Structure 1
Amino acid sequence: MSLLRSTVLGCGSYLPENFLTNDQLATMVDTSDDWIVQRTGIRKRHIASEGEFTSHLAVKAARRALDSAGLEPKDIDMIVLATATPDNTFPATAVTVQNELGMHHGFAFDVHAVCSGFVFATATADNFLKAGQARRALVIGAETFSRILDWEDRTTCVLFGDGAGAIVLEAREAAGTVADRGVLTTHLRSDGSHKSKLFVDGGPSSTKTVGHLRMEGKEVFKHAVGMITDVIEDAYTATGLGSDDLDWFVPHQANKRIIDASAKKLGIAPDKVVTTVDQHGNTSAASIPLALDTAVRDGRIKQGDLVMLEAMGGGFTWGSVLLRW
C-alpha cells in the first residue's frame, strides 16, 4: 500500500564564530579541562556575539539546508522552528526566520520542547506532510543558551553552547515498507513531574524576567538512559527493526557519558554513534541537526542509511525519530 513519507532532501548547520574553550572557562569558574572532558566529553562551546540572535543562527542554517536540497524559500510551505531561547516572547522566532528568508507564503511556528525540540519539530512536520497540508517543510533547531546561563554556576555553564541546524523534508509517495526513504516512525513523551530537575527559574508570567537555567545533574543523568531507550524500543516495535539494522545513531549531544551509556544499553556498536558534543557542547534543540549535518558532510551518512534520532530535555520531554536517509 503506497503512502506519503517525509523524505530528507538536504541539511545545514551554523555555529557562531566565537567559541569558549575549557581552559578559558577555567579562568571564569572553578573548573578545569580535565574535569569537564572526563565528565562530559565537551572541549569547547560556541557563543553568539552581542546582537546575534537565535533567528540569525536559524536563518544561516536554513539557507545552508536549502542550498543542500537545491531549493529556494519559495519552494517551502511551512517552517517549524524548535527553540527554548526565542528572540522575543512573541512573535514566534519562526516567523522572523520566514521573513528573513523572503518567504511570505505558507506558515511558520515555534515548537518548545527544550533539548527534545528538534525531534518534536520533525514529528510535527512529518504529520503535516503526511496529512497533505504541506508538501515541503523546513525544520530547524536553533538556540542561544548562553543568554540563559548563570556564568557563576560551574555545574551548568560548562555544558551548554549556541548553534543551529536544519533539514528540508518533502512528502513523497512510497511503498509503505521499512525500505522506504523518509521518516518511518516517531515517538514522543513528556512527564511534567520532573520539571524541577531541569528548568529556567524565570518567565514572563511568573517572574517577569528571563531567568537562568537550573539543573540537578545527577537526577537528569539517572533518568536519561531509561527514557531514551524507552522511545527507541517503541520505534523498533513499530517497524520490526532493531539496533543491528541501524546504520547510524544520532543522539542529542548533551553528554558523552549519556550517549555512550544509551548506545551500550541498546546494543548499538560504538562505530555507529555520531558524536559531536566535544566541539559545541549541549546546544539543546540544535544538537541533533548539527550532528546530522556533520555526519552527512563528512560522508558517513549516505542516502539509504537507516538513522535513529533521539533526545531528552527539560520537562521532561523525550522522543525518537527513525528515518531512512
Structure 2
Amino acid sequence: MNEPAVYVVAVGTDLPGPPISNADLGKRFGGTGVWEQWAQTYIGTHHRHLARDLDTGEVRYTLADMCSAAAGRALAAAGVTPGEVDLVVLGTSSPDLLMPATVNVVADRVGIDGVPTYQLQSGCTGAVQALDVAHKMLLSGRYRTALVLGADSCAKHLDVHTDPSKLRPAEQVNGMLFGDGAGAAVLRTEPAPGAAHLRHVELRLVGAGREPGQVVAWFGAGDGPPTAPVVEDYKAIEDQVPAMAAGTVRRMVDALDWADGDVDYLLPPQLSGRMTARIVEAMAVAGAQEISCVAELGNTGNAVPFFQLERLLPRMAPGDRAVGVAIESSKWIEAGFALEAV
C-alpha cells in the first residue's frame, strides 16, 4: 500500500491595482529624490501594490476581494470545482473584520459550503501554518482536496494624509517595506501533471523570553488612538532573522535526509530586497536557485510563499527539490516547507 502523500497541484495569486514605485511614494509624500535614493539603498524594494488609493485614501480592495480572486485562479488552474473542496484554511495578520472571519466570506464568494474552514491569525509564518493544518488534515485520509490561502493588506495602516517627516524611522521603513496581495494553493492527495509533493512542513515557536520584534494593534492609522498601529524593531529583525532562516533550512534538510547540494530551489523569507540578500547568504544553500519576488512586489506578508510557488512550479522538473522558509518576528516563529516535483 502506498504511503499517504499531499501534492501542491496549482497556485493562484492576486495584486491590488498597478505597481507603485519608490518615486511614486516620494512624489506623494514629498522629498522625491531623497526618498527614492534611501529606499533603493537601504531597502532594495522597487515596487509594491497597495489596496488603498494614495491620493484619496479610499480602500479599493478588501482582503476578501484579493483572496477570492486568488482562490478562483488556483481552482481554475487545478481544474477543481468549488464543490470538490473538502476544507479551506487562511493564514493572515490583517483580516477585514474580527467577525465574520474573512475565510468564510471568501468561501461563500467562490461557492464553497458545508466544509471545515479555519482562519489562522499570524504574521509572516501564517501561510506555512495554513499549509501545515491542511497537510495534516489531508494526511488523515478523511479529506481529498484543500484550498489554502495566505494574504495580507497593510492598507489600514497607511495614512495618506500624514507628514512622513514627522514619523519615526521605523514607521517610515514600514511604508516602504510592505505591499498588499493574496495567494492560494490547491492541495490534493493525488498527484497531477506539474504538481509537487509536499514532503515536509516545519513550524516552531522560539519566542520564550524574547521581546516581540513587531507589534500590530487592532486599529488602523486613520481610525484608532493617536499612537502608531505598527511598531517594529527593525534592528532586531535584521540581526536575528538570517540565523533563524539558516537553522530552519538545515533542520528541514536533515529531517528529509537530503544531502548538501540536493536542494535545487530556495524560497527565502522576503523581508525586503536588501534583507533577503543577507538572509540568502546566511542560509548558504549551495547550488540552489533563489526564487524571490520582494523587489517587485514588496513584502506581502502571508501572500509571499504563494507568489514564490507560482514562479517555482513551472520551473520544476521531475525530481527537483525546493525548500521554502518564513520567519515571523512578532513573537519569533521559524517555519518552512519542502517540495519535490513528481
* Shared fold per TM-score greater than 0.5: yes
Q: 1:12 to 1:275 in 2, by over 3 A?
A: same
Aligned pair 1:102/2:111, yes or no?
yes
Q: Which has the larger radius of gyration?
A: 2
2:239 counterpart letter in structure 1:
K
Provide the C-alpha distance between the structure 1 equivalents of 2:79 and 2:158, rounded to a whole number of angstroms.
37
Matched, 1:169 2:172: no
1:176 corresponds to: none
The more displaced of 63-72 and 248-257 is 248-257
Against the structure 1 CA distance between its residues 13 and 117, is the aligned structure 2 distance closer, same or farther, given a 3 Å change threshold? Answer: same
Secondary structure of the residue that 1:114 maps to in structure 2?
Answer: coil
Alignment partners' CA distance in 1, 2:332 and 2:283 = 21
Equivalent residue, structure 1, for 2:178? 160
Other-structure match for 1:39: 42
Match of 1:240 among 235, 249, 257: 257
User: Offset of 1:303 from its aligned partner?
Assistant: 4.9
Specify the alignment match of 2:134 in structure 1. 125
1:174-185 equivalence runs, <5 A: 181-185=196-200
Cα distance, 1:259 vs. partner?
Answer: 2.4
Which amino acid letter does the alignment assign opposite residue 88 of structure 2? Answer: I
Number of matched pairs: 315
Give the match for residue 167 of structure 2.
Answer: none
- The one-letter amino acid paired with 1:3 is E
Q: 1:127 to 1:29 in 2, by over 3 A?
A: farther
SS in 2 for 1:320: strand
TM-fit CA distance, 1:241: 0.9
1:44-97 CA-partner distances (Å, limit 9, x unpaired): 110114242101101111111111111111111111111111011122211111
Decide whether the 8 Å contact of 2:264 with 2:288 is kept in 1.
Answer: no
Percent same amino acid among aligned pairs?
A: 25
Mapped partners of 1:229, 1:200: distance in 2: 26
TM-score of the two chains, using structure 2 as the length reference: 0.84
CA–CA distance in structure 1, aligned partners of residues 185 and 71 of structure 2: 8
State whether residues 76 and 137 of structure 1, in contact with CA within 8 Å, keep that contact through their aligned partners in structure 2.
yes
Q: Which runs of 5+ in 1 are unaligned?
A: 174-179
Whether the 8 Å contact between 1:86 and 1:93 is mirrored in structure 2 is yes
Aligned partner (choices 85, 89, 97) of residue 98 of structure 2: 89
Name the structure 1 match of 2:72: 63
Gaps in structure 2 of 5+ consecutive residues: 53-58, 165-170
In the alignment, what sits opposite 2:340? 324
User: After the TM superposition, which residues 1-325 of structure 1 pair with which residues of structure 2 at under 5 Å, given as runs?
Assistant: 2-27=2-27, 28=29, 31-49=34-52, 50-149=59-158, 152=164, 153-172=171-190, 181-190=196-205, 191=207, 193-202=209-218, 212-269=229-286, 272-296=289-313, 299-313=314-328, 314-325=330-341
In 2, the alpha carbon distance for the partners of 1:154 and 1:225 equals: 22
How far apart are residue 163 of structure 1 and its match? 0.3
Distance 1:189 1:302 in 2: 30
Cα distance, 1:303–1:142 mapped onto 2, change above 3 Å: farther
Q: Compared with structure 1, are the counterparts of its residues 29 and 283 closer, same or farther at alpha carbon in structure 2 (3 Å cutoff)?
A: farther
Q: One-letter code of the match for 2:43?
A: T
